[in-house]
Amino acid sequence: MNDDRISQVFGNLQELEKRVEHCKKILSRKRKYEPNLTLMLRQQEQILVKMRRTANKLQLENASEDWQNFYRSLNVFNGLRAIVQPEILQTFSELSINKAEVRA
């Protein structure tokens, strides 16, 4: 019934995970960077782990047709995404802008 929503949840999650991985790659090439960037990326990864667990739980709740918990979990996922997505996009943007300096 909610297969489209599940696909969207996992698509959103994969996009955020890819951006965090890209940020880590850029950061690993930098010689100098703010120490808080590493901490921020770790925190973002921790939230993504919780989002992954929630997404997996959504699949199970969908399969068992547990709609009350399904929609609760969907709200939890969307809340976590609303918290972490702007931070990940900002980190990605800041690192990407300075990408040319990384290769120097």
Q: What pLDDT does residue 78 have?
A: 96
In this predicted model, what pLDDT tens digit does every residue of 22-77 receive, in sequence order? 999 988 887 777 778 888 899 999 999 999 999 999 999 999 999 999 999 999 99
pTM to 2 decimal places: 0.84
Q: What pLDDT does residue 75 have?
A: 97
Q: What pLDDT does residue 1 have?
A: 62
Q: What pLDDT does residue 82 have?
A: 96
Q: Is residue 41 a contact partner of residue 24, using CB atoms and an 8 Å limit?
A: yes
Instruction: Say yes or no to pLDDT of 99 above 60.
Output: no
